[in-house]
Structure 1
Amino acid sequence: MKTIYFKELKLTRKLLMIWLVLVVMLTGFAAIEFVVLKEAMGEIAKLAEGFPKIILILFGLNGIRIDTPLGAYQCMVFWTDLLAFFYAGFTGVFAVSREVMFGTSEFLFTKPYKRSAIIWAKIGAAVTNLGVFSITVGIMSYLFIILPLGDTSITGIHIITTAGIFLTQLVLFTTGLFISSLSKNYKTASLFTMLTVALFYMIRFALDYTGNGNLLNMLTPVGYFNVVSISEKGLDPFYILLSMGIILAGCSLAAGFYEKRDLIPK
């Protein structure tokens, strides 16, 4: 199992690096933007007050004052979340389904290892990659967003926000893994996973627009650890437990389905 785990990390490192480069580019661009527009942030915030609510929600500005360091950080989290969450869903699909797509399943799944051991090793490697991704997001956000804004008092909020991003990534990874365990091929699994993540965002936008987020937020994982609510209340124990339940149940079910599926091309 250890051999498969490290082999999986090696095979997925290039993909991880591509996504990490996107994170660095996004946060780096934001740092430049905030520094250049720092003096004009007050006017931008006043201008944003006149925007329709749906526009504010779509651009991560709902309930946020972008002319404050905390507000600017919260806005940036919205955009880094997009990368983090879609990467997590894609990782769930990529973990096992790619073996069938690339024709390597016949080699891997006929090795003298239990199929369950192979699948759990892949899950472990994927979780490691997601951890690296979340830590990188945290470091880049601190260096490129918090420090240039000049308010290190929000570091505590930043740490728990990063933890919330990681938990959400695990939920969405599990979603992708579960969908791929039920789908017949990689392309179908990828399509349905991306649509599912997009649907989660649509539900969140709808809840934010109607003001029903507190009641129905459990319907969308991307809303479990909203940066605005985290800034005010911290991580919600209910959503931590809910996320852990989804992760454990989803991975166990997906591993069970993969164990019974015919993954060897005929």
Structure 2
Amino acid sequence: MNIFIRELRAHRKSLIIWSVAILLMVVSSMGKFSAYAQSGQSMNEIFSNIPKTIKAVLGMGNFDLTKASGFYGMFYLYILLMATIHATLLGANIISKEERDKTTEFLMVKPVSRFEIITAKLLAALFNIVVFNVVTLILSIAIVGKYANGEQITGEIAILMLGMFILQLVFLSIGTGIAAASRNPKAAPGAATVVLLVSFVLSSAISMSSKLDGLKYITPFKYFEAENLLDGGIQPVYVILSLVIIVVMVCVTYVFYKKRDLNV
């Protein structure tokens, strides 16, 4: 319990900063929606002239941009990217920070096993992810609701947040797995971020070319796209793939952390 509380305190400031960043992101995106709406121009016509490749990179999809939910769906990709970066860095740092900061002796003097240490750290990371997701959900419903003009947006935002939560867990586990397996604790966050960015770029490439569609199963960013979530909900096959990644990477975390020589 002491380790769990210590980790919560250690990452409290980071969680607040990321939550504020999400607030600014949602406020900014819906501010743009309001500006376009007040201009009297048809947003669907404006964005229809943008090339398909640019739309794919920007995550625009085929949303009805005259609705608040559609405009929010377009910006969902950036919220998702922020959430997964936070999860990846959290996973990598929460495992490697004792070695990085030369405070490993704090753990070693505790009458607890490495299994208990990892479990406490993972629970603390999970708590941070849940709080981050709930904060994003509440902020999104509150802010988007002001521009919805009677449109029911709660259910749509909730399904988007559920998809985001699963993806957060995927990249959290990838971050912990890489950190546990890495011999250089300082390099773990960077390596985990590279994996995330490669996955993101691959997802954009798949959206730009139908020839690459078969690769969608290897990049988690294709599992929970806003357009698919709003049209057909969460697909079981992607949930299963996500669970496989999470279970494998959590096992990697336990196995490698138990075997490694911790640098004091």
Q: How does 1:136-155 map to 2 (within 5 A)?
A: 136-155=135-154
Residue 151 of structure 1: how far off its partner (Å): 4.3
Give the share of equivalent positions with the same residue, in percent. Answer: 28
Q: How does 1:72-221 map to 2 (within 5 A)?
A: 72-211=71-210, 215-221=214-220
Instruction: Tell me the equivalent position of 1:8.
Output: 7
Instruction: Tell me the equivalent position of 1:64.
Output: 63
Question: Are the equivalent residues in 2 in contact too, given 1:204–1:220 (CA < 8 A)?
Answer: yes
In the alignment, the residues of structure 2 paired with residue 48 and residue 67 of structure 1 have an alpha-carbon distance, to the nearest angstrom, of: 11
4+ runs deviating over 4 angstroms: none
Cα-to-partner distance string for 1:42-99 (whole Å, 9 max, x where unaligned): 4343122122212111222132232233320201211211210111111111111011
Residue 109 of structure 1: how far off its partner (Å): 2.6
In the alignment, the residues of structure 1 paired with residue 133 and residue 90 of structure 2 have an alpha-carbon distance, to the nearest angstrom, of: 14
Q: 1:6 to 1:213 in 2, by over 3 A?
A: farther
In the alignment, the residues of structure 2 paired with residue 33 and residue 20 of structure 1 have an alpha-carbon distance, to the nearest angstrom, of: 20
Q: Secondary structure at the match of 1:153?
A: coil
Q: Secondary structure at the match of 2:152?
A: helix
Moved more, 28-37 or 16-25: 28-37
Q: Secondary structure at the match of 2:49?
A: coil
Question: Are the equivalent residues in 2 in contact too, given 1:42–1:67 (CA < 8 A)?
Answer: no
Instruction: Tell me the equivalent position of 2:16.
Output: 17
In the alignment, the residues of structure 2 paired with residue 6 and residue 152 of structure 1 have an alpha-carbon distance, to the nearest angstrom, of: 41
Question: Are the equivalent residues in 2 in contact too, given 1:106–1:264 (CA < 8 A)?
Answer: no
Q: 1:30 to 1:217 in 2, by over 3 A?
A: same
The total of aligned residue pairs comes to 264
- The one-letter code of the counterpart of 1:75 is M
- The one-letter code of the counterpart of 2:171 is L
Note the aligned Cα RMSD (angstroms).
Answer: 1.7
In the alignment, the residues of structure 2 paired with residue 59 and residue 40 of structure 1 have an alpha-carbon distance, to the nearest angstrom, of: 22
Cα-to-partner distance string for 1:126-153 (whole Å, 9 max, x where unaligned): 0110011111111111111233232442
Q: Secondary structure at the match of 1:187?
A: coil
Residue 20 of structure 1: how far off its partner (Å): 0.7
Residue 124 of structure 1: how far off its partner (Å): 0.7
Cα-to-partner distance string for 1:219-240 (whole Å, 9 max, x where unaligned): 1111211111011111111111
Residue 3 of structure 1: how far off its partner (Å): 2.2
Q: Secondary structure at the match of 2:187?
A: helix
In the alignment, the residues of structure 1 paired with residue 39 and residue 63 of structure 2 have an alpha-carbon distance, to the nearest angstrom, of: 16
Q: 1:171 to 1:185 in 2, by over 3 A?
A: same
Instruction: Tell me the equivalent position of 2:26.
Output: 27
> Gaps (5+ residues) in structure 1?
none
> Gaps (5+ residues) in structure 2?
none
- The one-letter code of the counterpart of 2:208 is Y
Moved more, 60-69 or 160-169: 60-69
Question: Are the equivalent residues in 2 in contact too, given 1:41–1:67 (CA < 8 A)?
Answer: no
In the alignment, the residues of structure 1 paired with residue 173 and residue 211 of structure 2 have an alpha-carbon distance, to the nearest angstrom, of: 26
Q: 1:67 to 1:161 in 2, by over 3 A?
A: same
Q: 1:42 to 1:213 in 2, by over 3 A?
A: farther
- The one-letter code of the counterpart of 2:205 is A
Question: Are the equivalent residues in 2 in contact too, given 1:178–1:253 (CA < 8 A)?
Answer: yes
Cα-to-partner distance string for 1:7-49 (whole Å, 9 max, x where unaligned): 2111111111111111111112223222222134743431221
